Amino acid sequence: MQSPVYEPEESSKNTGKIIPIYPLTYSLSQNTIRKIIENGISEVAGKLPETMPDYFIQQYGLYDLNTAVSQIHFPTDFEHFKLARKRLVFEELLSMQLALLSLKNQYEVEKQGICFDKNAKMSDVINDLPFSLTKAQLRVLEEIDHDMESSQPMNRLLQGDVGSGKTIVALLAAYKAVKSGYQAVIMAPTAILATQHLESFNEILAKTGIRCELLVSGISKKKKEELLQRLAEGQIDILIGTHAVLEENVVFSKLGLVVTDEQHRFGVRQRSTIAEKGENPDVLVMTATPIPRTLALILYGDLDISMIDELPPNRKKIETYAVTKEMEARVNAFIAKNIDEGRQCYIVCPLVEENEEINAKSVMEMVEVYKNQIFTNYRVEYLHGKMRPKEKDEIMERFKNGEIDILISTTVIEVGVNVPNSNIMVIENAERFGLAQLHQLRGRVGRGEYQSYCILKYQGKSKMIQERMKVISGTNDGFIISEKDLELRGSGEFFGTRQHGIPEFKIANLFEDMETLKQIQAISMEIVNQDPMLEKEENREFRRLVEKNFKGRIEI
């Protein structure tokens, strides 16, 4: 026997029983953490205040909190463990659902929305477009039109895959708002994207006399003051900007429509900040992260949901290849061939700088190799999140104008910049990214008339890595990819749920617990229908639970 571990039978801690495995941090052992947790649990045994009402615990046959906490760490047997987990999953999912539904009720109960003019017709612009809209876009526009003409404020999530044409939908909604005598604001996550939106809006709305302006943090003080004055006086119809539009001194004369793009980068709090700049304006939230519909209903419980589930007919399928190190020379030759034909290429790395502890490619080391060894005849530049916003924008602008052949970057390019001439996306250490993120990155190419390619360079032979590379190479459908991602990685990483303004789940897994989730959605609706703001005595614990988990994230 090499390195045996033994325990005296009478004081056995780890043998003959179910033991917990904890995530370890530097130089702590499982035994140490188990002892600490065990001491902690014996200190609070029977003293944890209950977080759910008694009637509810009895009705659904749940453990009380003290039993659940003790049994989840040191279960007597697997049956006890299952019941403890059930109780804690119920609590996590229920508090989230109740919070979102209360938020939705708050919108609906308290607020009288704007009835936009039935005579302001989106079709006036649609008929003039140089392209046809897809059936999915027309269906979504009908839903938005209906919302805008009703007296309740619109709170709608628009989901669509990369390149499915969400911007034109936002533009048409903004057109309707302006023609009804209101202003609209479009909030984008980056200055480049905001500038891009402004160009598209001006191009399409030029004939209509609608005045669009751009507000980003880089503009001069004098220009900004003048712009804010014109906005407050109602001389600007559509304001397009970044976080800068959230500032206190940005005042609208009559705000009627708020559109936020890539919502998971803004969060619930900022969405409500901007909505407060008008008298209950309609809100449209756009996201290019496709989420399976059941989950979207749950995660965005405070919003109605529209989906653009088809791509415009002229979009060419992006050819995707997963390759290992052996193919490197061929990939480089392929990049050179395409650049010689006048195209451009993105290369994405997981790290900014080299890191001894992480075996992955970094932007700075790739720049060295590519600039000085492999692509010496081409114009190579780099971009990463630690650069100043102005620098980032300048680099992106130069890439867009064709002054850079190869752009080496971190995932900062993930959010919607349109460079129709770039047709190759190489992703280094693709095994380090989630499927949904790989799909987002892939969507940066394939935006022009040229056949586009996404090359995933990966390391590692594990079954999980192989499976993920197979999924992403095999389909371009973001909804299929997101379901698979959720199944393979679990929910915490998949959503980066914190970005949604929702706490990270400690125990629930949105894929495994889907059935429980559906059950909880029905239960939550029942509770909230009878007690919209959780004010009844019997629901006091629920209210506390929601406040504890969501304080500062959403107003309850």
pLDDT of residue 288: 75
Sign of torsion, CA 407 408 410 411?
positive
Q: Write the DSSP string, 472-530.
A: HHH---HHHHHHHHHHHH-HHHHHTGGGGT-PPPSS--TTTTHHHHHHHHHHHHHHHHH
Sheet bearing 183-187, strands edge to edge: 212-215, 238-241, 183-187, 255-261, 282-287, 155-160, 304-308
Would the CATH topology of 115-308 be identical to that of 319-475? yes
Token pair of 467, please?
A: 């499976």
Measuring CA to CA, which residue among 270, 269, 299, 303 is closest to residue 551? Answer: 269
Q: What's the predicted TM-score (pTM) here?
A: 0.70
Half-sphere exposure of 209 (CA within 13 A, CB side): 2
Q: How far are the Cα atoms of 173, 297, 375 from residue 309, in angstroms, in the given order? A: 19, 16, 39
Q: Write the DSSP string, 168-181.
A: HHHHHHHHHHHHTT
User: CATH second-level architecture of 115-308?
Assistant: 3-Layer(aba) Sandwich (3.40)
The CB density around residue 201, as the number of other CB atoms within 10 Å, is 24
Domain boundaries, the chain: 115-308, 319-475
Q: How far are the Cα atoms of 17, 411, 463, 489, 491 from residue 434, in angstroms, in the given order? A: 36, 12, 15, 8, 11
Would you report the helix, strand and coil content of the chain in percent, each value rounded to 5?
50, 10, 40
pLDDT of residue 294: 65
Residue 223: is it exposed, middle or buried by C-beta count within 10 angstroms (0-12/13-18/19+)?
A: exposed
* Beta bridge partner(s), residue 348: 409, 427
Rounded-to-integer distance, Cα 363 and Cα 381, Å: 10
* Beta bridge partner(s), residue 215: 241
DSSP letter (8 states) at residue 61: T
User: Are 213 and 231 spatial neighbours (Cβ–Cβ below 8 Å)?
Assistant: yes
Cα Rg for the chain, rounded, in angstroms? 26
List phi, psi (to 5°) of 87: -60, -45
* Beta bridge partner(s), residue 159: 287, 307
Q: How far are the Cα atoms of 297, 360, 406 from residue 355, in angstroms, in the given order? A: 40, 8, 23
Measuring CA to CA, which residue among 479, 130, 478 is closest to residue 314? Answer: 130
In the chain, which residues have pLDDT < 50?
Answer: 266, 492-501, 553-556
pLDDT of residue 149: 92
pLDDT of residue 195: 86
Superfamily grouping for domain 319-475: P-loop containing nucleotide triphosphate hydrolases (3.40.50.300)
Measuring CA to CA, which residue among 438, 452, 519, 443 is closest to residue 482? Answer: 438
Reduce the DSSP state of residue 207 to 3 states and report it: helix
Task: Tell me how far apart the terminal alpha carbons of the chain are, to the nearest angstrom.
Answer: 60
Residue 45: is it exposed, middle or buried by C-beta count within 10 angstroms (0-12/13-18/19+)?
A: exposed
CA geometry: angle 115, 119, 123, nearest 5 deg: 110
Token pair of 293, please?
A: 């519909």
